[in-house]
Amino acid sequence: METVFTPIQSLSGGVLIGWAAVLLMLTMGRIMGATGILAGILSPSSSSDLTWRLVFLAGMVMGPLVVMLVTGSLPEVSVRVSTPALIIGGVIVGIGVTFGSGCTSGHGVCGMARLSKRSIVATLTFMLTTGITVFVIRHVIGG
């Protein structure tokens, strides 16, 4: 099913994501990776480490609510896959980002911005396998 092409919202959203990454580096000296922040909450190295991560997560979760306050509606979250697919996909993502040490935000934005060779390879790898997976699901199995 088609989705609406939103270049301006997507570009503005991307710029905000970039600002957040730069500001987190400026204040905390950290890479802004969703995987790293979540993993740190699941096994914090100290209580102050846990605190800043939880506060950051709280800010993230408030994002859609602020969008609702301004625009009058929550951002669209359209899930067109089954619950088993969500669960299987979620577990695979969890295993993958742990072994791969990062995801779209950590490798794809922060690592690539540092021109890290590992992040560039990681990003190219997951973009490729995501594309292949979507192709197989939609055009080979679902075709």
Partner 1 sequence: MRLILIFAIGLIFGIGISISGMANPAKVINFFDIAGTWDPSLMFVMGGALVTTFIGYRFVLPRPTGPVFESEFQLPTATRLDTRLIGGSALFGIGWGIAGFCPGGALPALGTGRSEVFIFVCALIVGIFVARAVNTALRNRQTASA
Find the shortest distance in angstroms from Cβ 69 to partner 1: 11
**49 near partner 1, rule: CB under 8 A:** no
Q: Would you put residue 128 in left (φ > 0), alpha (ψ -120 to 50) or beta?
A: alpha
Structure tokens at 71: 């625009």
**40 near partner 1, rule: CB under 8 A:** no
Query: How far apart are alpha carbons 33 and 111 in whole angstroms?
Result: 9
Q: Which residues, 3 to 32, sit near partner 1 by CB under 8 A? A: 3-7, 9-32
Q: Which residues, 71 to 100, sit near partner 1 by CB under 8 A? A: 74-81, 83, 85-100
Find the shortest distance in angstroms from Cβ 44 to partner 1: 14
CB 18 within 8 A of CB 109: yes
